[in-house]
Amino acid sequence: MGKFEKEAEELLEAIGGRANIAAVTHCATRMRFVLNDDEKADKKRIENIPTTKGMFTNAGQFQVIIGNDVATFYNDFSDVSGIEGVSKEAAKAAAKTNQNVVQRLVGTLSEIFTPLLPAIIVGGLILGFRNILEGVQIQALGQAVVDGVKQVTSEGQPVYNTITQVSPFWNGVNSFLWLPGEAIFHFLPVGITWAVTRKMGTTQILGIVLGITLVSPQLLNAYAVNSTSAAEIAKNWSWDFGFFTMDKIGYQAQVIPAMAAGFLLAYLEKFFRKHIPEAVSMIFVPLFALLPTIIAAHAMIGPIGWKIGQGISFIVNTGLTSSFSWLFGGIFGILYAPLVITGLHHTTLAIDSQLIADFGSTNLWPLIDLSNIAQGASVFAVYLLHKKNKKEAEISVPSTISAWLGVTEPAMFGINLKYVYPFIAAMIGSGIAGMTSTLMGIRANSIGVGGLPGILAIRGEDMLKFLLPMVLAIVVPIILTIFFRQAGIFNKLDRIGAGLGDVNTDTANLGGAQNAAKTEIPQGTLVKVTSPLKGEVRELSTATDAVFSQGIMGQGVLIEPSEGLLVAPFDGIVSAIFPSKHAIGLISDEGVEVLIHIGMDTVKLAGQGFETFVNQGDHVTREQKLLTFDIDLIKGQGFIVETPVIVTNQDIFQPDTVGTLPRTLTVGDDILTATRI
């Protein structure tokens, strides 16, 4: 039970219930409500709640003063009311019951990086463009000359100019673009610590301050650590406290130190808020939470991160020089993408530099390049599968371009980690391509541009050979991504199984319709989906729950029912019925899979107010009665009755809305068409 759960329940009732709340947030001391009807708020009752210290209306907001404990109160209020993401968290909690530890960890990483996506995507495109300007040698621009000497490689091959070397304009553009590029990626720990505190419901400005202390200009830049001797670090880059010293090392672009420090800060803040009196908590909670975290970040968390990196570097170097280098090529190809997640991939730069110094070339960098290509290929496959999802395309298209230009973070954090299966497909494809590259003895002359332009950094005699691993890094992830999607392997989010994970499917009854969709129905076949409800139909993007509004489960429409009767939208089979009866899955005779989900969070009613008239596996006809539901009861319990009607097998059928939205409709009106792809 939360600290303020009882008071939160009373406040919810006093402001008119969940149905009267259009939006809610909080600031440093106040709960801020946007109410549908301010007159429904019982101000006298609110004043009598022990935790409230007053209220007023300003700028369209009904504000209730709570005090320094507002963050904790807000979390308890969210739990009680089901507002501010509780439905989303409930969906995630249900999905996590079928996930292992690794999947849960990946899910947490994805949650932290989701609010950072706009910046990461922009940064990826900028850095990819800069890689072309300053990293691609172009023969047509002539051989590079330094102090009158034509530049050649250690093997006597000419070194050609890059665009920035011959064009003052593009050199200026390249220099200017470093400003946003550095802000986004070098200072990524600031965004991470902010995102962690945001996720944990603690003070976000403290997260920002913590992040700044990890990348301060007073610290030795993380990119310069490997080229700086221990003696110089001890002399010029350390704090001397008399009886001990601490290194002044920054953690630019590092993920593990930032995440660990962010979670430590959040837990300390929550701990001290429970034990420090409210009267002085505004002063002492931030002080006691922030300072110990900063000390721990530089004394323990950061150094441990570097030790992990050094250990990985040793393993990589040993693998490259052993007789099992081909096996290492496959393993490294698989594991490089997870290293990017942690930020430890920066340690490979030192290894590449040493290999070039010792042998004049490196066989490690081609593996890194192939991993970039593979991640981009998986995102491209997701785009092909979801090409009608405009919101998905806004992320997947630039992410594909970014990855194929050498920057994979937008692809991994924006798409691949969210769905899991494309990330694993890319790892496997990268491993196969990496093993092939190592077996063929392919080496690079330098640390070049990542992605598809990376072939320009490969030794001249290896360029044509490198085409085969590149093709494998593209084709294998695309095939595996599509296969994993179709088979439901490593996939808990991207198909109807995510919403119906607890429901057994009668494969004997359903197989005919599914097989028809895959083999018998010709491309271009159009299937009509009529309204299963009477009410108002709207865009799916207006749904309260992000799982539906973002099209994660599928595309379709949202219906606000005016009557509690649900009928079949086509002739087909009942593929699944929830035990709580609030959702039903159907497959048309042509193979169109549709999910109808009555209300939001109505699973919590455990079937109360719902009655079904069909069973799983039954064949139904258009407008046949499926179930009834009590709208007044659902609303009386504080739930929303808006109902998504979505097509979940978009890889086979393309859903399109019919008519203008919003509009009023009745049972049997056309709402969607599904076209066989």
What are the catalytic residues? 27
Q: Could you write out the three-class secondary structure of 366-408?
A: HHHHHHHHHHHHHHHHHHHHCCCCHHHHHHHHHHHHHHHCCCC
The number of angstroms, rounded, from the C-alpha of 244 to the middle of its chain's C-alpha atoms is 41
- Listed in sequence order, the residues at least 6 apart from 265 whose beta carbon sits closer than 8 Å to its beta carbon are 193, 196, 197, 202, 206, 207, 210, 289, 290, 293
Side-chain half-sphere of 509: how many Cα atoms within 13 Å?
17
Pairwise CA distance, residues 395 & 48, whole Å: 48
Pairwise CA distance, residues 264 & 452, whole Å: 40
Task: Report the b/e string of 553-591 with b at 16+ CB within 10 A.
Answer: bbbbbbbbbeebebbbbbbbbbbbbbebbbbbbbbbbbb
Pairwise CA distance, residues 541 & 550, whole Å: 6
Pairwise CA distance, residues 562 & 20, whole Å: 19
Pairwise CA distance, residues 587 & 571, whole Å: 8
Going by the DSSP 8-state scheme, the letter that residue 573 receives in this structure is E
Task: Report the b/e string of 391-415 with b at 16+ CB within 10 A.
Answer: ebeebbebbbbbbbbbbbbbbbbbb
> In this structure, are residues 46 and 55 in contact, taking their beta carbons and an 8 Å threshold?
yes
Phi (first) and psi of residue 165, to 5 degrees: -75, -20
> In this structure, are residues 207 and 189 in contact, taking their beta carbons and an 8 Å threshold?
no
Pairwise CA distance, residues 580 & 582, whole Å: 6
Going by the DSSP 8-state scheme, the letter that residue 482 receives in this structure is H
- Identify which of 23, 43, 41 has the alpha carbon closest to the alpha carbon of residue 32: 23
**Is the omega angle on the peptide bond into residue 477 within 30 degrees of 0, that is, cis?**
no
Q: Which helix (H) or strand (E) holds 192?
A: helix 188-200
Task: Report the b/e string of 464-487 with b at 16+ CB within 10 A.
Answer: eebeebbebbbebbbebbbebbee
**If you write DSSP's letter for every residue of 599-630 in order, what string do you get?**
SBSGGGGTTTTEEE-S-TT-EE-TT-EEEEE-
What is the rounded (10 degree) CA torsion for 88, 89, 93, 95?
30
- Listed in sequence order, the residues at least 6 apart from 280 whose beta carbon sits closer than 8 Å to its beta carbon are none
CB atoms within 10 A of CB 283: 11
Sign of the torsion angle spanned by Cα atoms 55, 57, 63, 68: negative
Query: What 3-state DSSP class applies to 194?
Result: helix
How many residues comprise the chain?
A: 677
The three-point CA angle 489-491-495 to 5° equals 110
